[in-house]
Chains A and B, each alone.
Chain A
Amino acid sequence: MKFDTPATTNPIDRLKIVGRPTDRIDGPLKTTGTAPYAYERHDVAPDAAYGHVLGSAIAKGRIASMDLTAARAAPGVLAIVTAENAGKLGKGEYNTATLLGGPEIEHYHQAVALVVAETFEQARDAVEMIEVEYGRAEGAYDLAAARDAAKPSGKDDEPADSRVGDFDSAFAAAAVRLDATYTTPDQSHAMMEPHASIAAWQGDRLSLWTSNQMVAWSVGDMAKTLGIAKEKVHLMSPYVGGGFGGKLWVRADAVLAALGARAAKRPVKVALQRPLMINNTTHRPATIQRIRLGADRDGRLTAIGHDSWSGDLPGGKPETAILQTRLLYAGANRLTRQRLAELDLPEGNSMRAPGETPGMMALEIAMDEMAEKLGLDPVEFRIRNDTQVDPEQPKRPFSQRQLTECLRTGAARFGWARRKPQPRQVRDGRWLVGLGMAAAYRGSPVVKSGARVRLDAKGIVTVETDMTDIGTGSYTIIAQTAAEMMGVPLDKVVVRLGDSAFPVSSGSGGQFGGNSSTAGVYAACVKLREAVTARLGLNAAAAEFIDGQVRSGDRAIALADAARAGELVAEDEIEFGGLDKKAQLSTFGGHFVEVAVDAATAEVRIRRMLAVCASGRILNPKSARSQVIGAMTMGAGAALMEDLVVDKRHGFFVNHDLASYEVPVHADIPHQEVIFLDETDPMSSPMKAKGVGELGICGVAAAVANAIYNATGVRVRDYPITLDKLLEKMPDVG
């Protein structure tokens, strides 16, 4: 199905099942510990041997020699894989560094060997017996130092630079100006389930059970890396214990499990050990961002400038922190520039709302600072600069844009009017209390997505698509979509996901998965409905699918009857035909935060958070709310604690475990509320939905930062906002 004209009324609009708060259909499996995650597939590979990974001890250089003698002789060892004995390997399209290093080493903890043994303990012990001599080379590990050598970096649809009007003159002439630099640190996805895979060969065919967000990409990259045909790779990723962008690609666990299984001649399972996850896989790159804002006395922006620097390995990508600045606020004169420095740190890549998360961390503090300079309420200042068209291409409207409504609703619900505009006015015992807010913005891309739908003689509708559920609730919204389309209750729908034997879907990433994959299921269901009416001899246009029946005129036939003579199967994909070029598809919101800062120690504790979201039709308010509160929690972590600390001498992230890379715990998040505004977006898809899982994080950290400023009068522009950055300016104690 080609989606190239705005959606009109369709069966989804009945909203009998779609749009209702619905428990996860996979919930019982998860709460009983029976959902089959990749590492626990004892059912398919009961005889799997254990692989354990050795990571490089240096960040850059070469392996001079590697002595495997002791490890080979260790009890239980079946095979050892190194770059030297693995045969020729390719590199995946989505990988920047190779997944098995040697002799060249590109980053710290790059995998250099896999030991396969009968037991996990034997493999782990033998890994430590491998003697590696390295030749260390000089590397670049400091973004601030590499900043001046950074080069423009962009792509066709996201150019490095954008200019509208004459920024320099407008900024120089502006009545009120802000010129400030902000930094965001490297961050880790720190998902619960590590990267994990089981690989088994049947002749030249590989079966891979893994934890992965993008099945089709990863089939391609496994094939490319191993030098085999795509058709020889069967990849299954039905359950993913968190990904956040860290599992968009094949990583060392998958490739080494395949190589280990080939060498040991039996299935091999590999999970990356927690201390390796941070330096071996990808992370959100640090940024330096300079923001310049100019406005007239009425608070209308006349000049908006945003420069961003980030670093990555040679051949890597920039963190696109300037993207939202091209679209969020009106202003006639605009300049954005994106620069990329070469660093020899581990590979930087996507993490939940790449670009907008760090971009909004900076921009939305800048907006708070500017509002204060103008003497305007921060909510009012943003509303005054709202726009219904793409500010860089004013002929291009937003498909839906309820930023102002989000901010007004949030302000009313949160009690924003009680905020004191002057900082440091509210004391509650030992606590300094403040309120802060930020806009939320995230693009809502759409991606081609396919599905197959079956109807059997019992009236069971089975959906098959390689879409993944990374904890987001894909199983449930896909079931809701099929149930709505076919007019059956939810318990008559079976959903099978994450298998490369199924039609290729959008996958899970960029908050495009929910809308795109259900639209693909919609398309397949439209075809199945046609097959049903044809089989039943009904007029397809007049037929209504409802209550397990197909009704047309005065006829009502059980849906199952259509499959009595044999299962009906329909397959289709949704293909997006350019509506997203005619109009900008984006999601909007407002974040409101109350913090308390200990007057003595400057410890920051969040008291309550509110998000108001306008992001198209909400397919399942229950799982959507879970997505948003999870994102708010991640934003709180970004604001207050998350920081991969670079050792600039050795070139690695030092705090590479969950004891030292702190993320919020329950005690950090006392109260969260989420409001979804009514919205349907016919430009987006037949589902009229958009993304929401990434919108929830965009702007949160800035809202926290702004609340801290309101509480303390201390403006911190370097994340995370730890107490040492506030302490000097806190009031006297006692």
Chain B
Amino acid sequence: MKPFTYERAASPTEAATAAARQPGARFIAGGTNLLDLMKLQIETPAHLIDVNGLGLDRIEETQEGGLRIGALVRNTDLAADARVRRDHAVLSRALLAGASGQLRNRATTAGNLLQRTRCPYFYDTNMACNKRRSGSGCSALGGYSRQLAVVGGSDACIATHPSDMAVAMRVLDATVETVKPQGATRTIPIADFHRLPGDTPEIETVLEPGELITAVTLPKPAGGAHHYRKVRDRASYAFALVSVAAIVQPDGSGRVALGGVAPKPWRSEEAEADMPRGARPVMAKLLAGAKPTEENKFKLPLAERALAAVLAEAKG
């Protein structure tokens, strides 16, 4: 861990302004990911801006009938919220499928969206990694790739986004609210929030320097039956090989997003139009253009089978 300076911000705008002022500054909330990365010098911020005191820890109902989730709402609290459990159950289920009780007590809504990949080569600073050091190369290509992306990757990076929560947020059409350094705010649809790696895998979101997430908003309830099916090598406390977030309506229509397969939550509105026809046509479109490795090609049939199981369960 490199020495760093630290401040507590008094308001979201002040936090954003402070971050823009100091090159190499990072926000810290739960710290469940950032601190680990700092210890390994994968992240080396010169300055930390603690946003825990900003009061962004409430869940409010919106005029449209949705929920506005403060950026600092802890994963445990979000999963347990009665309105989330009743109206957005896929989110609660995804959260509870992730991490451990102790981690969920600390981890925040915004931090969860911003957590970084678990690619083992990202974690070993002796290895080339374009995400960690731009232009150094990708050791995962041609290396151990069982956990890594089958779709959406590039010749520069095949890392996956590890979040479960973000997959549910994607299927719920959440929007991300931010404040920029001079106080301007904007709203980013979750679909646009994470970027694909392309030639610049080190840039993972559309956030601008200093821009701070203040809330994540869910639209009015989507109805239907909510499923989160996480497939992994052990029964708990493991990242997804494949996860399926699905909302299935009584007429068989619905929405689906995948985790564990791509650099971001993976959803295609065109593909899910085929949901009444079953998992196969949905996956044919959703995973079109997939470029799996020999080690992770099993994720393609696995994703289809997991969705088929969800659809069968929804039918009852």
Contact = CB atoms under 8 A, between A and B. Distances in A.
Interface string A644-663: 01010110001111011010
A493 B308 CA distance: 63
A130 interface: no
**Nearest 7 interchain pairs by C-beta:** A600-B309, A667-B235, A724-B298, A57-B126, A733-B308, A667-B236, A734-B312
A640 B143 contact: no
A662 B233 contact: yes
Contact of B309 (A647, A654, A723, A733): A733
B127 A125 contact: no
B149 interface: no
A734 B236 contact: no
Contacts of A665: 234-237
Interface of A: 57-58, 75, 121, 124-125, 128, 275, 430, 598, 600-601, 603, 605, 640-641, 645, 647, 649-650, 654-657, 659-660, 662, 664-668, 722-724, 727-728, 730, 733-734
Contact of A655 (B39, B120, B309): B120
A645 B139 CA distance: 14
Given A125-B2, A654-B144, A655-B120, A734 B231 contact: no
A655 B235 contact: no
B308 A650 contact: no
Nearest to B295: A724
Contact of A727 (B41, B118, B232, B302): B302
B139 A660 contact: no
B118 A660 contact: yes
Could you tell me the dominant secondary structure of chain B's interface residues? loop
B20 to A, nearest CB: 27
B40 interface: yes
24 contacts: A75-B3, A125-B3, A275-B40, A275-B123, A430-B309, A601-B306, A603-B232, A641-B234, A649-B142, A649-B143, A654-B120, A654-B124, A657-B123, A662-B238, A667-B234, A668-B234, A668-B235, A724-B146, A727-B301, A727-B305, A733-B305, A733-B308, A734-B279, A734-B311
B278 interface: yes
Nearest to B142: A649
A660 B118 CA distance: 8
A640 B41 CA distance: 32
Interface in B109-148: 118, 120-121, 123-124, 126-127, 139, 142-144, 146-147
Nearest to B298: A724
Given A645-B144, A655-B144, A733-B312, A640 B121 contact: no
Given A600-B306, A659-B118, A724-B298, 9 more contacts: A75-B3, A600-B309, A647-B144, A650-B139, A656-B120, A665-B237, A667-B235, A727-B302, A730-B305
Interface in B222-269: 229, 231-239, 241
Nearest to A726: B298
A654 B123 CA distance: 10
The bracket for how many chain B residues form the interface is 35 or more
Contacts of A660: 118, 120, 123, 147
Nearest to B311: A734
B1 interface: yes
Nearest to A659: B118
Contacts of A659: 118, 239
A125 B3 CA distance: 8
A654 B120 CA distance: 6
A650 B241 CA distance: 25
Contacts, number: 100
B231 A601 contact: yes
Contacts of B3: 75, 125
Interface of B: 1-3, 39-41, 118, 120-121, 123-124, 126-127, 139, 142-144, 146-147, 229, 231-239, 241, 278-279, 298, 301-302, 305-306, 308-309, 311-312
Given A125-B3, A666-B236, A667-B236, A654 B121 contact: yes
Contacts of B229: 601
B150 to A, nearest CB: 12
A133 B298 CA distance: 39
| Most A CB within 10 A of own CB, among B2, B40, B144, B278 | B144
Contact of B302 (A662, A667, A723): A723
A75 B40 CA distance: 19
A331 B142 CA distance: 46
Given A650-B139, A734-B308, A723 B241 contact: yes
Contacts of B231: 601, 603, 723
Contacts of B142: 649
B124 A656 contact: yes
B309 A664 contact: no
Contact of A640 (B1, B123, B234, B308): B234
A668 B232 CA distance: 12
Contacts of A603: 231-232
Contacts of A640: 233-234
A660 B3 CA distance: 28
B269 to A, nearest CB: 23
Contact of B1 (A125, A430, A605, A657): A125
A724 B147 CA distance: 12
Contacts of B239: 659
A455 B120 CA distance: 57
Nearest to A600: B309
Nearest to B121: A654
A668 B236 CA distance: 8
A372 B241 CA distance: 33
A124 B1 contact: yes
| Most B CB within 10 A of own CB, among A654, A655, A728 | A654
Contacts of A728: 301
A598 B308 CA distance: 13
A701 B234 CA distance: 15
Contacts of A664: 234
Contacts of A600: 305-306, 308-309
B233 A722 contact: yes
Nearest to B143: A647
Given A600-B308, A650-B127, A727-B305, A734 B278 contact: yes
Contacts of B236: 665-668
Contacts of A598: 309
Contacts of A650: 127, 139, 143
B39 to A, nearest CB: 7
| Most B CB within 10 A of own CB, among A128, A601, A655, A724 | A601
Nearest to A734: B312
Contacts of B124: 275, 654, 656
Contacts of B312: 733-734
A125 B305 CA distance: 47
B309 A734 contact: yes
A445 to B, nearest CB: 34
Contact of A124 (B39, B118, B301): B39
Contacts of B39: 124
A128 B39 CA distance: 11
A723 B147 CA distance: 13
A600 B305 CA distance: 6
Contacts of A647: 139, 143-144
Nearest to B310: A600
Contacts of B232: 603
Nearest to B100: A665
Nearest to B299: A724
B260 to A, nearest CB: 12
B133 to A, nearest CB: 14
B237 to A, nearest CB: 5
| Most B CB within 10 A of own CB, among A647, A667, A728 | A647
Nearest to A58: B126
Contacts of B144: 645, 647, 654-655
B302 A601 contact: yes
Given A125-B1, A600-B309, A733-B309, A605 B235 contact: yes
Contacts of B301: 727-728
Contacts of A430: 309
A728 B305 CA distance: 11
